[in-house]
């Protein structure tokens, strides 16, 4: 699902908001999430899950084609933990 499809779902359930406004709202939510993660803050959406920034340490890897060792630098990523309510709704 992309931003336009999410906005279309919101538009169906709320006819007072225009499609461009729905798309802007969805974009604003994701931009706020990205900003929090960039500032090393986790974000919890109750009933959905928690997005948490994680730092991967530098490590030695291996090129699968040549077998040559190479150094993989430290990097930031995002971990997601699904909420119990959401997990239970899937089962």
- pLDDT tens digits, 48-86: 999 999 999 999 999 999 999 999 999 999 999 999 999
CA distances from 86 to 37, 41, 45, 61, 75 (A): 22, 22, 11, 36, 29
Could you give phi then psi for residue 37, rounded to 5 degrees? -65, -35
Query: Is pLDDT of 14 > 90?
Result: no
Give the DSSP H/E element, type plus range, for residue 26.
helix 19-38
What confidence score (pLDDT) does residue 91 get?
85
Residue 49 near residue 80 (C-beta atoms within 8 A): yes
Percent of residues, the chain, with pLDDT higher than 90: 89
Residue 17 near residue 7 (C-beta atoms within 8 A): no
What confidence score (pLDDT) does residue 62 get?
95
């Amino acid at each position: 699902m992309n931003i336009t499809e999410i906005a279309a779902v919101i538009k169906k359930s709320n006819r007072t908001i225009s499609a461009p406004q729905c798309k802007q709202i969805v974009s604003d939510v994701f931009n706020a999430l990205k900003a929090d993660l960039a500032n090393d803050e986790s974000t919890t959406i109750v009933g959905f899950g928690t997005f948490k920034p994680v730092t991967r340490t530098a490590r030695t890897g291996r090129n699968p084609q040549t077998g040559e060792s190479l150094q993989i630098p430290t990097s930031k990523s995002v971990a997601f933990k699904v909420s119990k309510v959401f997990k239970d709704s899937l089962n």
